[in-house]
Amino acid sequence: MIKNFFESIGKYFLFLQMVFRKPEKWKIFWRQFINESDKLIISSILLVGVISVFIGGVLVIQTASNLENPIIDKMYIGYMVRESLILEFCSTMIALILAGKMGSNIASEIGSMRITEQIDAMDMMGVNSAGFLVLPKITAATILSPLLMLLSLGLGLFGGWIVVEFTQIIPPASYITGIKAFYNGFYIFYSCFKISLFCFMISSIAAFNGYNAKGGSLGVGRSSTASIVTTSILILMSDLIVTQLMLY
């Protein structure tokens, strides 16, 4: 088992070496990059948006119910909601959601291409199949995922505002003051960096599992499940490490 683990790590880095070879034609790469941006990022906007609005609202209610002390200014509720969204929800939680959506999409797409010999056909033409299929996915996911994080932040705060406005759980002016208070730009950078790293892991690990799928449709299913489980664990582990390195 330990041997298999180290063997897989070695194969993963060899796979990345193939992926990051110079593309045969940049024109084809950019066209694929646009396609993958649409498939992986644009198509995730609705899911991320809906979840963020609801989580923003829930965070306001939960924080307000835990801060009923009259000494503490109500604006801190807005402040804490914003910090929770920036530091953890908009990067880590969104990445875990994307691990399911994006990871299964990539692993099953590449896996079914593997078992139907489409990848062999590309290799036989002399096309670097890993570079053609995977590089645009990794670059689109890594470069554009911070946009999803920023969108999630905006919609999360908006969701909180809707709850405040309609339930008057705290004065709306205090909520607005809170979400503007003690702003630290580095936290935005930290969160963008985290989601980029997580999306790199999601796309590359899912592609690796799909690329090495074996055994028909069952194999595709297995590779899809393996990529979601592996990336979910790795996201949580690397969240801890990155947080320790960047915030402490």
Partner 1 sequence: MIKVEHLYKSFDGKPVLNDISVEYEPGKCNMIIGASGSGKTVLLKNLIGLLEPDSGEICYGDMKLSEMSYKQKKNLRQKIGVLFQGSALFDFATVIENVMFPMEFFTDWSAVQRRERARYCLEKVNVVGSDDKYPNELSGGMQKRVGIARAIALNPEYLFCDEPNSGLDPYTSILIDRLISDLTKEFNMTTVVNTHDMNSILEIGDKIAFISNGSMLWQGDRHTILQTECKELRDFVCANTLARNIIEGK
Tell me which residues touch partner 1 (CB under 8 A): 24-25, 28, 112-113, 116-118, 120-121, 123-127
Q: For residues 66 and 116, which CB has a smaller minimum distance to partner 1 in the complex? A: 116
Of the pair 8, 17, the CB lying nearest partner 1 is at: 17
What is the CB-side half-sphere exposure of residue 111 using CA atoms within 13 A?
26
Rounded to a whole number of angstroms, the minimum distance from the CB of residue 147 to partner 1 is 25
Tokens of 68: 């009923």
Closer Cβ to partner 1, 120 or 165, answer by number? 120
Longest pairwise C-alpha distance within the chain: 72
Q: How far is the CB of 55 from partner 1 (least distance, A)?
A: 34
**In angstroms, what is the minimal distance from the CB of 104 to partner 1?**
17
For every residue of 122-164, DSSP letters joined together read HHHHT--HHHHHHHHHHHHHHHHHHHHHHHHHHHHHHHHHHHH
Q: Which is nearer to partner 1, 23 or 221 (CB)?
A: 23
Residue type, 94: I
Angle between helices 118-125 and 129-167 (to 10 degrees): 130
Q: How far is the CB of 235 from partner 1 (least distance, A)?
A: 28
How distant, in Å, are the alpha carbons of 51, 81, 161, 240 from that of 59? 12, 6, 11, 22
Shortest Cβ 125–partner 1 spacing (Å): 5
Q: In terms of CB distance, is 153 or 207 closer to partner 1?
A: 207
Q: Give the H/E segment covering residue 178.
A: helix 172-180
